[in-house]
Amino acid sequence: MPSLDLLLTNILQPIVLAFLLGTIAGAVKSELELPEAVVKLLSIYLLFSLGITGGRELAKAELGGLLPLVGITVLMTFAIPTLAYIITRRLGRMDISNSAAVAAHYGSVSTATFFTAMSFAAAMGTPAEGYMAAMVALMEFGVIYSLIIARVAMGRAKSGGVQLSELFLSVIRGRGILLLVGGMLIGYIATDRQWQQISPFYEGLFRGMLMLFLLEMGITAARQIKAFRQVGMFMTGFGVLMPVLLGVGGVTLGHAVGLGVGGAFVFGAICASASFIDAPAACRASLPEANPGIYLTSALGITLPFNLLLGLPLYFGYAKWLAS
């Protein structure tokens, strides 16, 4: 368990306090609410910022040295949805659609958790490598893999070729991969002089924008917390224990391939997170029979608050212990 000091350091961060404020506002049914257009703009800004700064880091890195990190990222892209599917099918006794939907959410990445983990690592004096944004983009393909699992399990693999190709294109066109990959390309080719002209906007304003984004995420999470009865005791436990298992596993793998404390911690946080922005859209389109009250409540109402409040200091403490 993380020490009390590490827990307090995390909870007393302005970005986490903004999330807590949003949670309180949602719980008391406050009139506080950010317009949907503003939330989308914040999401675009944060993803684009991380993509650009990640591209800057990528330009400085030895590309050959990234192969082990890419390797474990690909491994987790397939391993996480598979594990989530098996657990919910065998132990949770869910049907194929709901198990695959849960697998898609936990196989994808929560950008809010990723943003917060990057900020937490920097605040602790162990900033993560900026090219971790590339790993986030790569793991988004866990959504496609999860839906392929559903197609095969339902015996529809032969007739689903066109639909799967359309799904692949929808992920490529999605704002997550487009902004991260496009931003990294821009950051990679930008010269130092060009970067100095735009860095105040993409670096200086980042944490303030993140606070506003997490304020809205807190409001949204509070609404989902009220739906605990829909997910039941099994999914409540799954929403807490699954990220711990994946977070510790991710930190261990990150440390094994040579990442520093901050990098191993952020990789663990990526593995432990569950998407609630991109994955729900894919599941609504491809698995309409799946119950959003199960997969969305688990990802947004249980796993997100757990990770932001308790999970991140746990993974960071473990990363420090491994490096000592």
Q: What DSSP assignment string belongs to 257-309?
A: TT--HHHHHHHHHHHH---SSHHHHHHHHH-TTS-HHHHHIIIIIIIHHHIII
Q: Identify the pLDDT of residue 183.
A: 86
Backbone CA torsion sign across 270, 273, 275, 277:
negative
Amino acid at 115: F
Q: Identify the pLDDT of residue 159.
A: 42
128: which DSSP letter? P
Q: Dig out the tokens for 314 from the structure.
A: 């746990």
How far does the chain reach from its first CA to its final CA, in angstroms?
16
Amino acid at 153: A
pLDDT by 10-residue block (mean), the chain, 324 residues? 66 84 89 88 86 81 82 96 95 92 91 90 90 84 82 59 59 69 88 89 86 87 72 90 97 96 96 84 77 86 91 95 92
CATH architecture of 4-323: Up-down Bundle (1.20)
Q: Dig out the tokens for 93 from the structure.
A: 């006794």
Q: Identify the pLDDT of residue 160.
A: 46
Cβ atoms of 104 and 206 within 8 Å: the answer is no
Q: Dihedrals φ, ψ of 211, to 5°?
A: -60, -45
Q: Identify the pLDDT of residue 155.
A: 64
User: pTM surpassing 0.75?
Assistant: yes
In angstroms, the Cα distances linking 235 to 72, 193, 254, 273 are 27, 51, 27, 15
Q: Dihedrals φ, ψ of 38, to 5°?
A: -70, -40
Q: Identify the pLDDT of residue 292.
A: 82
Q: Identify the pLDDT of residue 3.
A: 61
Q: Identify the pLDDT of residue 157.
A: 42
127: which DSSP letter? P
Q: Dig out the tokens for 229 from the structure.
A: 């009865």
Cβ atoms of 313 and 244 within 8 Å: the answer is no
